């Protein structure tokens, strides 16, 4: 991908010769360019492998820049804007694509194509990119399907994620490992390719659903939620249903459920279940009731359902709690002797 300023035709060469270094070893070509001129200052490092390009650097423009890029072939771009902001648009129909610092995405770019990019003055724009072409491009597009495959088939640009994804700590760690790769020779190529695939895997992971927006709870709502909780736990063996509880508390069911989770950190059912099992555990430790009696006391019609819920929460069967209670009478001759001695 070639990048140049629309007004000057070359971003790096205007106003002074840039410092360029290049190295070719073990089938890997690397180039570094640093410049400081009338347009601004910056640096960029390119790593070229077969069907794979890694690029990273920063740009600090002294005035607003309108850049132009040229792409010679279809490409899959892993884009990470680490700092700053940039707005890009391919020539032809389609919306502008804006990235802010901390955002990432995976893009299919048809080629050959050209595009425009705008970077504001007075900010540092720092990015990390990986471009996949040829065999890599086909493998990823065919495996991921969805919008990337549709863009490839139709020859139009496409985004994997409709909303840009935040750059995770794991992504940042992999990018730094790619920059700091300590290996040389053939091993360097395998290291770089392996880390690129790890980075790609993180981009392909489906986004977690966004948490529901928090309710704006008024003081009256909070009072009603506390009242609802007290009503719910008043008699855990005959707790009201959700519609009944909402009516008793003067709340609609949606606000009751969302407000309960927001205020108490649990669902209505989760809160009820916790209190049921805590009461059951206390009863079992007292040792006056059997497991079946305790199950009935806290509102279970079937002791087997109680046993399953109890084991899921505490990791042990209720009968083991009853059997290990410190005050339980011990059977046999030893128990009789100890019990008699305790009464003296």
What residue spans define the domains of the chain? 2-204, 219-323
By residue count, the chain amounts to 344
Please tell us whether the domain made up of 2-204 is placed in CATH 2.60.120.10: yes
List CB contacts of 22: < 8 A, sequence separation 6 or more: 29, 30, 31, 32
CA distance 96 to 340: 88
143-167: burial string, b at 16+ Cβ within 10 Å, e else: ebeebbbebbeeebbbbbbeebbeb
- Tell me what the mean pLDDT of segment 250-274 comes to: 92
Tokens of 2: 């070639």
pLDDT tens digit string along 160-209? Answer: 999 999 999 999 999 999 999 989 999 999 999 999 999 999 999 887 66
Q: pLDDT confidence of 123, banded at 50, 70, 90?
A: confident
Q: Which residue has the tokens 């020539």?
A: 91
CA distance 251 to 223: 11
Q: What pTM, to 2 d.p., does this model score?
A: 0.60
Task: Give the pLDDT confidence score for residue 7 in this predicted structure.
Answer: 46
Task: Give the pLDDT confidence score for residue 102 in this predicted structure.
Answer: 94
**Residue 309 reports pLDDT greater than 80:** yes
Paired with 19 in beta bridges are 34
Q: Closest Cα to residue 141, out of 132, 163, 165?
A: 132
Note whether 2-204 and 219-323 share their fold.
Answer: no
> What are 44-50's contacts with CB under 8 Å, separation 24+?
45/179, 47/192, 49/189, 49/192, 49/193, 50/134
Mapping DSSP to helix (H, G, I), strand (E, B) and coil, where does residue 58 land? Answer: strand
Q: Closest Cα to residue 34, out of 8, 53, 16?
A: 16
Domain 219-323 is in which class? mainly alpha
What is the average pLDDT value for the chain, to the nearest integer? 84
**Residue 1 reports pLDDT greater than 60:** no
Tokens of 313: 């929460």
Task: Give the pLDDT confidence score for residue 26 in this predicted structure.
Answer: 85
Is there a contact between 57 and 126 (Cβ–Cβ < 8 Å)?
A: yes
pLDDT tens digit string along 227-236? Answer: 999 999 999 9
Task: Give the pLDDT confidence score for residue 213 in this predicted structure.
Answer: 74
């Amino acid at each position: 991908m070639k990048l140049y300023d629309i007004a000057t035709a070359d971003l790096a060469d205007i106003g002074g010769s840039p410092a360029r270094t290049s190295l070719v070893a073990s089938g890997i070509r690397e180039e570094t360019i640093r410049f400081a001129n009338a347009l601004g200052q910056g640096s960029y490092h390119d790593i070229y492998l077969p069907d794979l390009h890694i690029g990273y650097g920063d740009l600090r423009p002294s005035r607003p820049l309108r850049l132009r890029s040229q792409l010679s072939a279809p490409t899959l771009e892993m884009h990470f804007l680490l700092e700053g902001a940039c707005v890009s648009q391919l020539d032809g129909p389609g919306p502008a694509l804006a990235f802010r610092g901390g955002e990432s995405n995976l893009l299919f770019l048809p080629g050959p194509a050209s595009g425009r990019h705008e970077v504001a003055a007075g900010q540092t724009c720092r990015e990390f990119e990986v471009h996949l072409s040829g065999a890599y491009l086909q493998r990823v597009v065919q495996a991921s399907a969805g919008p990337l495959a549709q863009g490839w088939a139709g020859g139009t640009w496409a985004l994997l994620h409709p909303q840009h994804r935040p750059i995770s700590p794991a992504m940042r760690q992999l990018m730094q490992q790619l920059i700091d790769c300590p290996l040389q020779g053939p091993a360097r190529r395998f290291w770089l390719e392996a880390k690129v695939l790890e980075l790609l895997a993180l981009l392909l992971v489906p986004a977690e659903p966004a948490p529901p927006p928090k309710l704006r709870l008024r003081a009256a709502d909070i009072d009603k939620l506390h009242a609802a909780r007290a009503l719910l736990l008043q008699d855990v063996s005959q707790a009201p249903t959700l519609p009944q509880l909402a009516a008793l508390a003067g709340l609609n069911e949606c606000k009751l459920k969302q407000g309960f989770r927001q205020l108490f950190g649990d669902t209505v059912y989760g809160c009820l279940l916790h209190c049921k099992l805590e009461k059951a555990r206390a009863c079992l430790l007292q040792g006056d009731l059997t497991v079946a009696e305790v199950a009935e006391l806290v509102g279970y019609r079937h002791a087997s359902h109680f046993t399953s819920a109890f084991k899921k929460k505490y990791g042990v069967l209720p009968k083991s709690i009853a059997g290990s209670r410190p005050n339980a009478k011990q059977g046999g001759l030893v128990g009789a002797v100890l019990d008699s001695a305790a009464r003296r």
